[in-house]
Structure 1
Amino acid sequence: MPSDFTDDDDALLAELGVEIEQKKQVKRTPREERIIAGFEDIQKFVADHERLPGHSPDGDIFERLYAVRLDRLRELSEARDLLEPLDHQGLLSAPPAIDQSDDLDDDALLAELGVDIAPSPITELKHVRSAAEKKAAENVANREICKDFDEFQPLFEKVQRELDSGQRETRPFELKAEIEPGRFFIVHGQKAYVAEMGEVTLTDQGRTDARLRVVFDNGTESKMLMRSLQRALNSDEAGRRITEPLAGPLFSDAPEEGDDTTGVIYVLRSRSDNPTVTANRDLVHKIGVTTMSVEKRIAGAHLQPTFLMAPVDIVATYELYNINQTRLENLIHRIFDSARLDIQIEDRFGRPVVPREWFLVPLFAIDEAVQKIKDGTITQFVYDPQQAKLVLRPS
């Protein structure tokens, strides 16, 4: 019987021969206090919203933290032993939500979970991280000094001049598809340049991702994941993308005196037996830019995921002179982004890959886009997949 009585009550009960159970004062470690406090936050959320916290990428950041925290608390036996007496809502035994915790790959998240992220001496090992936590930690990209920053500094200076002159402007970041090589962003007050992008793959949750090389205007760089940059831009209220400069003629049909051939736009068709490709053979095109001969570029196509692991046919080429090839390729891909082919294949190692350079678009529309890039009018148009043609951009 708990001792909630006065001294007089205690004396009376003692006279009656009733033993009084004295409350024990439990001393908690700081770690246990943090775990309990974190669990109480989850309990309050459930009481306020009458539901468990969810992992939705569109949800409130704190709700997502609570969802991941609850998943981790369920996994940790020490946490369950500590919290089960306090779990009046049955949260520890409720079915877990779909785990999308890779969206929260930050040291701060581990701290929110009550996990010690500072290295501990071997003799004081307190926590062995789960596989999910290790994966989250691997996704945290640490910055390092950019050793070839002298090659990128002029780009940042040029972008600033173009912002000052109005040739470029900043706009709110909206879509992951905006993250491409050659694009500039502003995140946490710094300009960020996507210098490189690796092969696009699928996460365990079926979403696209790729490893980037991102260079910052303070002379550092990071090998972060595309989704990590997306999350950083979404979480930063001042996060912005920097638009491309206003387009002028990018190239001509013939070189002028002193010009050098710098690349070729190529359009390919695939011989893949993928059902989507075979059903739309005349519309499915790969559009790219190369500085080598197209024949060399497509050599071994059947071994490369970017070519759908199948031979290809060249259906059109456009020779370029004195242009920025990466910028031009990105421009073409953005024009036809609404018609980008959503297709997944396996590479030769059986890993799922989502190629990004294939589009469901007729050849005449590609040719029209190239002509409008030549004369500098392309910024006035967008591609309408319903009409299968370029239309004037809404004013």
Structure 2
Amino acid sequence: MSDLDLDELAGELAEFAPAAKKHATYTPREERIIAGFEDIERFFEEHGHLPQHGEARDIFERLYAVRLDRLRALEDCRTLLASFDKHGLLGRVEIQSEEVELDADDLMAELAGLGEDGDDITQLRHVRSAEDKRAAEDIARREKCADFDTFQPLFKKVKDELADNTRVTRPFELKAEIRPGAFFIVGGQIAYVAEMAEIFTNPQGRTDARLRVIFDNGTESGMLMRSLQRQLNEDDAGRRITEPVAGPLFADRAEDGETETGTIYVLRSRSDHPVVAEHREIMHKIGVTSGAVESRISGAEKSSTYLLAGVDVVATYKVYGVNCQKLEALIHKVFAAAQLNLSIPDRFGHMVKPREWFLVPLAVVNEAVERIRDRSILDYRYDPQSGQLEQMGR
């Protein structure tokens, strides 16, 4: 190979340089087609399948199916959308639209509100609200629970415990509250999370998991965790059902003369430190705050207290009428034998030893909270050897 100076080398490489991108401009019709295709992509990402035809399908899914057929059939649409088709939807199946006579503009008119400017595709008429549509979709996807006899006693027990205030309901707050064994009230029904598959990252970069949710009317759904989270957030009456409680400390509301004083929170670190990576599933920061947990962990990446890394909130518990500092000190005393002994450099290179991090399974933290509820926690300490709370003096 001959030697090249820098100028010659630059000239050689110039042939392979990508052409400068030009800012694309689209006609109003093309913009509507692109926006309509993005609706189809969102449907595919949320439901995991292409929109389908059929009288039993939701009106939006049927319209998306017609729209997709027409976009596949029109060469100019396929050309326009080629760079937007990140999931290969345009070529996923054979074109089948013989009975459909709508072109792309006609189809958009079906969805358009036809307001004063005639082009507002975000305003719909003669259709249900998005909230009603989503609720109907989820109900339509439910099927009869073949082994409901197994779960029926659980629902009866929960209803009895709600009636005698052994359990209470609270507003849904965090995705971390959705876990196997949890009960919720959504759409006027009690829902039980029976199973949770392996957590994965969806196309939007967010964690999700497939659930098996059993409803007290004898149906079940294989919905995603984020779908249940969305339903609970959108339902004004949506609630989570607590574990059995005893005493006013964890009551649904403060007793007379008491005020809500804080939250016990359990965090998990995203740090790539070898020790953290090895023990991530059982390594938790446990604390109590009188403010919002979100405010407490803001800027975690810059604080050695949080191992100079982001954190995930894996559990929270509301507390009433207690001294937060004393409660936190008690919890740390219970888990003192499992406190993490780790030193890391702070932003300035000084070695620091973060506190409040413990090598303890989340299930044991939940047990400790239950013992705080019945005040028996004073007699218990965590034993790292057995991995359990042990009663002192035994």
TM-score of Structure 1 vs Structure 2, range by shorter chain: 0.3 to 0.5
* Greater relative contact order (CA < 8 Å, ≥ 6 in sequence): 1
Please report the TM-score for the alignment, with normalisation by the length of structure 1: 0.39
Please report the TM-score for the alignment, with normalisation by the length of structure 2: 0.39
